[in-house]
Each structure stands twice: as structure tokens, then as C-alpha cells.
Amino acid sequence: MYKVATLNNISKKGTDRLPSGFEITSELPGADAVLVRSAKMHDLDLPESLLTIARAGAGVNNIPIDKCSEKGIVVFNTPGANANAVKELVLAGLLLSSRDIIGGVNYVQSDKENPDIAKAIEKEKKNFAGCEIAGKTLGVIGLGAIGVKVANAASKLGMKVLGCDPYISVKNAWELSRDVVPVKTNDEIFENCDYITVHVPLMDATKGLIGKDAIAKMKDGVVILNFARGGLVDTEAIKEALASGKVKKYVCDFPDAESVKLPNSIMIPHLGASTEEAEDNCAEMAVDEIVDYIENGNIRNSVNFPACDAGPVRSEGRIAILHKNIPNMITQFTAVLSESGVNIDSMLNKSRGDLAYSLFDIEAKSTEGMKDKLSKISGVLKVRIIK
């Protein structure tokens, strides 16, 4: 029986997908897998039994990726599962920033006891007037699952859309509307757009992507939307730009102690993926990833190990080896199997940076003896007998 620990409330539509042989537990010790959303895991002791962690969402800042890699723990996320929910909130952000809807609603509530409110509204509504987004130019930085949906939807709303992503996948490129204009650099977006939205992961290379230098290149009165990660926008730089009017509005889904004080900003309480549908989709994908990895050894959507899919197990035995990406590893693996008198039916080997993964389908039952010999090879992180 495999134990799956849940560190947050996980949608029942997801956990109901666990097949027989899997059980949910609230205890981390002894768990084979973890399902997590936002719970912080950096200070947790990860048990030796732990094979995999699946984040029901895209960001994995709450998971100690390096520690997991060293221990041979495969970390999954669920890219695209919440893309539509985030897309819809970005569109809401575009509208909230272009027309003072929030100010208007607050005004009505503040004057709701006025018996002549209908007349008062007609006099005051000019204070909340704005502009339409049709005909304006939107720049989308990052054309992943969310960015593509935002670009396509904005184009349908009559906006001219520029998109920049030097690493766009073939799948996302096919899905991108022909009306979206691809550009090669972020500077082209900074210089030409009325609205700019960022949809890239937070890492060393993207931290402070929207900073003083970037803002200086932008049009006066630009609107910046951040529904990806707070650290992508430099708080001090955006504070100065908002105060001066260089940036008209800043819409952010990641308020903190500093950003909530920013003038001319709209701070949303991290609602991007907070829909029933998105939580269901993320949970279902996370569970499927865990089950396929444990039962078949397949890796899809891992953030630390390479993708590797050998399909369901049809051979007499399958051995999965997580290891460092160094020379001569495959030769050593095949030597162990040869010494055990085992023929290899098929083999997959994939690498990702310093890490690699090998799957061997063999024409005999896998044994603990094979596992022990393979585990002793220098550079091996974890060996599993799948069947």
C-alpha cells in the first residue's frame, strides 16, 4: 500500500483518482508521495520512504528542490491546469486598471444611505471614467500555457498584442493566434505597449525583470500587470514610477507588506488559481503524475528530473534509476544486468542538467540483488524496482 500525504486540502476530484493500492494520510513520516499546494516544505524532514512530491499548481517556491534532487525525490508541478483561471483574472485586471470600477463601486457603497443617490451618481460618475482596452497595445512577456491564453483572449477583445518568449514550446507556438505579433526582445514590448503583463517563472534570471531600467524604456502612463510572481517586479522601482505617473496602474496578485502600500495600485489577494475548476484540474493532474511515476516509473512535468515516458510496464521487469549526469553510467548499469544474466528488452535514458534518469525493461523479474548492486554505483541517487 502506497501512502500519499496531503499537506493542504486537496480537491476530492483529484484524490478520488487514486487507484487501489494507494491511501491518503495526513502524516509525512513513512509517506511514499506528497500532494501539496502552498504549504512550506523547506524546514520539513523528508523521510527516506519519499519517492515524489506533486505540487497542485505551477510555482514550486515552497518546495526544497535541491534537497529533493540530492535524495532522488522527483518533484512534479501541474503546468497549464490553472491557466484558464489565471487568464480570466488577468482580463479582469486589464478592465479594472483601464476603468475605475473599484473606485466607482466604493463610491456607491459610501453614499448608499443617500435618498437622492441616483441623481448624485449622474454628477459623480465622471470622476470614475476611464478608457477602453480595444485598440490599445498589450505586451505579453512569456508565452507559456497562461501567456498564450492571455494573448489570444486580448486579441479577440480588439487589442493589438505583442508576445515575447525565446523559449516558446512547439505546442504553445501552434496554439498562439496568428493575430499576436511575435517580437524577439522584451525591450520591444517595453517601448511599444500601453499594457504589459508578465508570465514567466521567478528565478535568478527573471528576478526584478520589471525594474528601473525596464520602466525607463516604457511609454508614459503604461499599466503593468503581474499575475506570475511578486519578485518579478522591483518594488522600489515601481513605487517611484507610480508616484511620478510614469506607470499609471500596477495590478498585482501577490501583495506583501511593501506592495500593499503602493499608490495607484490594485492588489488582489492571490486569486489567480482560486477557482473550483482550477483546484480540481491541478489536483487531478498531480495525482495522475504521482500514480504514473510510482506504478510505471514515467516522469511528466517534473521540475528537477528529465521527462521520460516508457508507457505502461509490459515486460517481465522494469528498473528505474535516478542518477547524476556523468560519463560511463549506462555502461555500469548494463554491466550489472549482464552479470545477473538478464537481457534488456528496451532502455530509455534522459538527462537534464546535472541529473539523469534511466529506465530498463528487462526479460526477467527484477530482484533486490540487482537493486543493491545498482545502488552501490557512484553517482546513483535512487533505484526502484517497478516490477
State yes or no: is 384 an active-site residue.
no
Instruction: Note the pLDDT tens digit of each residue in 121-148.
Output: 999 999 999 999 999 999 999 999 999 9
Percent residues over pLDDT 70 in the chain: 100
Inter-residue long-range contacts of 29-32, CB under 8 Å, 24+ positions, other chains counted: 30/3, 31/3, 31/4, 31/5, 32/2, 32/3, 32/4, 32/294
- HSE-CB at 4 with a 13 A cutoff on CA atoms is 28
Q: How far apart are the first and last CA of the chain?
A: 15
Average pLDDT over residues 163-184: 96
pLDDT band at 232 (very low <50, low <70, confident <90, very high): very high
| Per annotation, catalytic residue among 37, 199, 229, 384 | 229
Q: Does the pLDDT value for residue 58 go beyond 90?
A: no
Instruction: Note the pLDDT tens digit of each residue in 95-115.
Output: 999 999 999 999 999 999 999
pLDDT, residue 59, reads 82
Give the strand order in the sheet containing 52-55: 22-25, 2-6, 33-36, 52-55, 74-76
Q: Which residue's C-alpha cell is 504589459?
A: 196
What phi, psi does 157 have (nearest 5°)?
-85, 5
Instruction: Note the pLDDT tens digit of each residue in 327-348.
Output: 999 999 999 999 999 999 999 9
Interstrand relation of 33-36 and 52-55 (parallel, antiparallel or unpaired): parallel
pLDDT band at 363 (very low <50, low <70, confident <90, very high): very high
| Assigned C-alpha cell, 163 | 508576445
State yes or no: is 113 an active-site residue.
no
Contacts of 359 (CB under 8 A, 6+ apart): 297, 308, 310, 318, 319, 320, 321, 347, 348, 349
Q: Does the pLDDT value for residue 202 go beyond 90?
A: no
- Amino acid identity of 18? L
The C-alpha angle with vertex 10 and arms to 8 and 15, in degrees rounded to 5, equals 135
pLDDT, residue 66, reads 96
| Per annotation, catalytic residue among 270, 277, 295, 316 | 270
- HSE-CB at 219 with a 13 A cutoff on CA atoms is 17
- Amino acid identity of 167? Y
Query: Left, alpha or beta for 191 (phi > 0: left; psi -120 to 50: alpha)?
Result: alpha
Rounded CA-CA distance 52/46 in Å is: 10
- Amino acid identity of 125? K
State yes or no: is 229 an active-site residue.
yes
pLDDT, residue 160, reads 98
pLDDT band at 169 (very low <50, low <70, confident <90, very high): very high
| Per annotation, catalytic residue among 23, 258, 339, 363 | 258
